[in-house]
Chain A
Amino acid sequence: MVVLRSRTVTPQTLAKDTTPCPSVIKQSPAVPLPVSPATPPLSSSRRSGRLATRSPSTDEAPLTTGTKRRRRRSTSAGVCSIAKNKPVDEGNPAADVVKQEAEEPEAPLPVSPATPFLSAHRRSGRLASRSPSITPRSTGSKRRSASDGVSSENEAVDEGNPAAEGVASEGNVIADGVKQEAGQETLQATGRKRRSASAGVSSITENKSVLEENQAAERVAERVKQEEQRNDGKGLSLEENRSVKRTRRWTSEEKGKGKLGEVGAIDVRNGELRVPGTLIIDEGRAEREGRQNPTCQPSTVVTEKANREEEERLKERTKDALSKKTESGSRMDQFKDAARKNAARFAHFEAQEHLQAAPPGVEAAEQSTEGDDEKVEDWPGPFSTAMKIIRDRSNRMNLQSERATSDKANSVAINWTPRGDVGGCNRSRTLVPSLEQLCMEGLAKNADAITSLDCVPDVFRHRLSQLLCDSRKMNTHFLNLLACGSPSEIRIRDCSWLTEEEFTDCVQGLDTSNLTVLQLDYSGRGIPDYVLHSTLAASPGSMPVLNTLSLNGAYRLSDIGLRSLVSAAPSLRCLNLSQCSLVSATSISILGDSLGSSLLELYLNDCQSIDAMLMLPALLKFENLEVLSVGGIETVSDDFITCFVAVCGHATKELVLSDCVKLTDSSLKAIATACPRLHSLNLSNLRQLTDSALGYLANGCQEIQTLKLCRNNFSDEAIAAFIEASGGSLKDLSLNNVKQVSHNTALSVARRANNLQSLDLSWCRNLADEAVGLIVDSCLSLKVLKIFGCDQLTDVLLCGHSNPVVEIIGMKMSPALTNVRVIDAQAFPVHYSSVLSSM
């Protein structure tokens, strides 16, 4: 067994240091964490006196709740069954008993607060107005009870006290809002939701049986956030509620136990919420569309009227929800319904495309009436010239050959002879593993034993981080290593293991003064808004040199969280908010207002709450935007593209428009005319595009280096002509599943695409060995060739080509990942411009 020693990295120390340092073994926490303060409802109820009679019952209630709810309960009640709270669990069992008494001498709150659940169900204005006052403490205790000690609670108390004073006038409103919010969530599995069904359905018995301390605390935590926001006078009331709602722990839905199909209950007071588990997507979207108007007016003052309206709507909805709940639909039916709703999102249906093509075709026809009649060019430009040549050539071949022209493979002659004998191909193409690679793998295997990354440059840190994420070994230990000192770049592309506590702990000690790149992808679980407020976004300008921020998949990040992040990182250049389902057009306005002139890259793939036309005015504020990625946002239309490129096209270098199925040739025309410096374009799954689109592109964008096509309906000749006309600058070409690709394309690629480094010909069944062989031997810069699904290619290609460098991926059923070596495109944080760092 190897004993791992801790050593600093410099060669000098290694040379001089002969005595081994004591081996560092990851130590388990020596001491159970201090007892977390009791849940506020308890203590506060005790303090209030008038509610004293209720408190014992609520004490009992959680403890007698069934095992099903145990896991959720444990976050603050101390039943240690949540795995993530491992270090805490040791402390918690003890905390259980102690907790309930420990609270009383603590934190003297001036107001005698009612228990939140009580206030909700008592529905008295006065009581309700008190509830916010206890919320700060509950936030502290709930959120940090598992990990921090009394200090956090004191902080919360401090927050709470001024808030409590200021709350009087808004007490009623807040209470209503609270109730509404409470009324929103009426799923049976989560007791706290049911508790406060606003239509007065809630009963004391319900409360008793379902209420759990921590859930009450969670609710209260939400409220305090809500209340704080209102006290700040910032943000939209609706979004606050929404963001607050997002702060609850895993509901049973998130864990997959929730009742399916209960749309009205869960979702969308303002239509922009994404329900966890993506079960109710379509309804959510429909409601979102219906509710766009009321919700998107920015209002900084909470108006009672707005709340009342909300209240009514929510009451209706909760009533619906309750009625739905009481129906006894079978679980299988619900699963099927959910699957049906979700299928459209994840599968590609050919038939559906045709059906859908009809209605959009109608609108598209109106827009592009001029385009239909126009030719691609008025003058014989390079594209049409190329097309003509290619067509003539194939016609000539067809005429010459005696056979029927149905055999497309013979329409164009390809001269390529494989070198060497096929039989003797034993080149396994496995290059000798480099020492760097071996070391990297060794480090990844033993990552827990690394004690310091002090002298390791960022490049290695990133590679190591990537390896660890890929092998699912990433953990807090390595995160802390990355966060040591004053790091300049932290990149973790999979933070799905990261919990809120771990994140808070790590980031609280992080010195962000030198941080230029922060990537915490798929960190939805660990990064809700309030955690951001207390850590990264705690103060404006706390990340002064941060220029790249990637929070891909932060599904708990809302507009408010984003606002504070943006104020904390004023020099942001590149922002990735893909798959952040709570981010709406409001966020884009926020970004436009504060970063309009400096933001260079914006990635919004799959942000389902964003309506393209609504965010358009804000988008136009970005003067220098180089990269816009709106893949997956279905509301992107030709109008959107046309308007956007008209204003911002001069700077645009990369556009990702994959899955924006409404787009037609007219948007490509607009892009071609307005974006002369376009370097990269992704047109995956845009089935309405025709050959003219390629024509526009060939003529308009001469500097295209990356073109990603997938499942498009372009013809072989058109692609060939495109490459002839402007393929000289192509470095990365993807023709994945472009069915009609054939020998014309192969000839053009071989002839013109001299700078091609990466080529994807997966699923192009019309290419024979000769065609691909010609490409491989002619494109001397080619490093990666992907041919997944090309069964027609044989060893003749593999062994017969003479390109020493190229790596052919996708044949022979080899494990895909071992062969994929991505060209290191992420050399710099910002892709197209250099960002000067002040340090």
Chain B
Amino acid sequence: MTEMRKEDTVKLISAEGFEFVINKEAAMVSQTIRNMLTSPGSFAEAQHGEVTFPEISTTILEKICQYFHWSLQYASGKETEFPIEPELTLELMMAANYLHT
């Protein structure tokens, strides 16, 4: 596995404090995160490369990260199914709406 440099990654922190470190490119699938990280003004998130989501729980955030990677895969041509556990669906939908993804 290639080494992930610090500049290429962002840290997403869930409500419980779990930290997910993912590629910036993957995180940018979410319009909200993209705006946070790339807007001209300097948000704290952009500076530290960390975004906290106090309303999103760990399981949901994990699923969202999986979606990011799946989305990149899909866009590059490999079109597969994205499985979603039914009990997560309702919350996942609202989190996805918040993240504009």
Q: Do A and B bind each other?
A: yes
Residues on A facing B (Cβ under 8 Å): 2, 4-5, 7, 9, 11-12, 14-15, 432-436, 438-440, 442-443, 446, 449-450, 455-457, 460
B91 partner, pick from A2, A9, A432, A438, beta carbons under 8 A? A9
Asked if B86 and A446 make an inter-chain contact with CB atoms under 8 angstroms apart, the answer reads yes
Closest B residue by C-beta to A443? B89
Given the known inter-chain contacts A432-B71, A434-B101, A442-B84, please indicate yes or no for A11 contacting B90, CB distance below 8 A.
no
Given the known inter-chain contacts A5-B87, A442-B86, A449-B86, please indicate yes or no for A14 contacting B93, CB distance below 8 A.
no
Chain B residue numbers with a CB within 8 Å of A438 are: 67, 82, 84
Asked if A432 and B74 make an inter-chain contact with CB atoms under 8 angstroms apart, the answer reads yes
Q: Report Cα–Cα, A143/B89, bound state, in Å.
A: 40
Chain B residue numbers with a CB within 8 Å of A7 are: 87
Say which one of B3-11, B19-27, B34-42, B52-60 lies at the interface with A: B52-60
Q: Report Cα–Cα, A435/B56, bound state, in Å.
A: 15
Chain B residue numbers with a CB within 8 Å of A443 are: 89-90, 93
Chain B residue numbers with a CB within 8 Å of A435 are: 64, 67, 71, 92-93, 96, 99, 101
Asked if B89 and A436 make an inter-chain contact with CB atoms under 8 angstroms apart, the answer reads no
Asked if A442 and B87 make an inter-chain contact with CB atoms under 8 angstroms apart, the answer reads no
Q: Report Cα–Cα, A727/B86, bound state, in Å.
A: 48
Asked if B74 and A460 make an inter-chain contact with CB atoms under 8 angstroms apart, the answer reads no
* A-B contacts besides A2-B86, A15-B15, A439-B89, 18 pairs, CB < 8 Å: A4-B86, A5-B87, A9-B91, A9-B94, A11-B56, A11-B57, A14-B60, A15-B16, A432-B71, A433-B74, A435-B71, A435-B93, A435-B99, A438-B84, A439-B96, A440-B93, A443-B90, A446-B89
Residues on B facing A (Cβ under 8 Å): 15-16, 55-60, 64, 67, 71, 74-75, 82, 84-87, 89-94, 96-97, 99, 101
Closest A residue by C-beta to B81? A438
Shortest A609–chain B CB gap in Å is 43
Q: Report Cα–Cα, A11/B96, bound state, in Å.
A: 13
Asked if B93 and A460 make an inter-chain contact with CB atoms under 8 angstroms apart, the answer reads yes
Asked if B60 and A11 make an inter-chain contact with CB atoms under 8 angstroms apart, the answer reads yes
Q: Report Cα–Cα, A436/B82, bound state, in Å.
A: 12
Classify the secondary structure of B's interface with A: helix
Chain B residue numbers with a CB within 8 Å of A457 are: 94
Asked if A11 and B91 make an inter-chain contact with CB atoms under 8 angstroms apart, the answer reads yes
Asked if B86 and A15 make an inter-chain contact with CB atoms under 8 angstroms apart, the answer reads no
Chain A residue numbers with a CB within 8 Å of B74 are: 432-433
Asked if B15 and A11 make an inter-chain contact with CB atoms under 8 angstroms apart, the answer reads yes
Chain B residue numbers with a CB within 8 Å of A456 are: 90, 94
Asked if B86 and A439 make an inter-chain contact with CB atoms under 8 angstroms apart, the answer reads no
Smallest CB-CB A-B distances: 4 pairs: A439-B93, A435-B96, A11-B57, A436-B96
Interface centre among A5, A442, A457 (most CB of B within 10 A): A442
Q: Report Cα–Cα, A324/B20, bound state, in Å.
A: 80
Asked if A460 and B97 make an inter-chain contact with CB atoms under 8 angstroms apart, the answer reads yes
Chain B residue numbers with a CB within 8 Å of A433 are: 74, 82
Asked if B96 and A434 make an inter-chain contact with CB atoms under 8 angstroms apart, the answer reads yes
Closest A residue by C-beta to B67? A435
Chain A residue numbers with a CB within 8 Å of B101 are: 434-436
Interface centre among A439, A455, A456 (most CB of B within 10 A): A439
Interface centre among A9, A11, A14, A442 (most CB of B within 10 A): A11
Closest A residue by C-beta to B56? A11
Asked if A436 and B97 make an inter-chain contact with CB atoms under 8 angstroms apart, the answer reads yes
Shortest B56–chain A CB gap in Å is 6
Asked if B92 and A439 make an inter-chain contact with CB atoms under 8 angstroms apart, the answer reads yes
Q: Report Cα–Cα, A440/B93, bound state, in Å.
A: 7
Asked if B86 and A14 make an inter-chain contact with CB atoms under 8 angstroms apart, the answer reads no
Q: Report Cα–Cα, A11/B98, bound state, in Å.
A: 13
Chain A residue numbers with a CB within 8 Å of B71 are: 432, 435
Given the known inter-chain contacts A11-B57, A435-B64, please indicate yes or no for A450 contacting B90, CB distance below 8 A.
yes
Shortest B75–chain A CB gap in Å is 5
Q: Report Cα–Cα, A14/B56, bound state, in Å.
A: 10
Chain A residue numbers with a CB within 8 Å of B67 are: 435, 438
Chain B residue numbers with a CB within 8 Å of A432 are: 71, 74-75
Q: Report Cα–Cα, A348/B90, bound state, in Å.
A: 46
Chain A residue numbers with a CB within 8 Å of B86 are: 2, 4, 442, 446, 449
Q: Report Cα–Cα, A446/B15, bound state, in Å.
A: 27
Chain B residue numbers with a CB within 8 Å of A434 are: 96, 101
Closest B residue by C-beta to A434? B101
Q: Report Cα–Cα, A436/B31, bound state, in Å.
A: 13
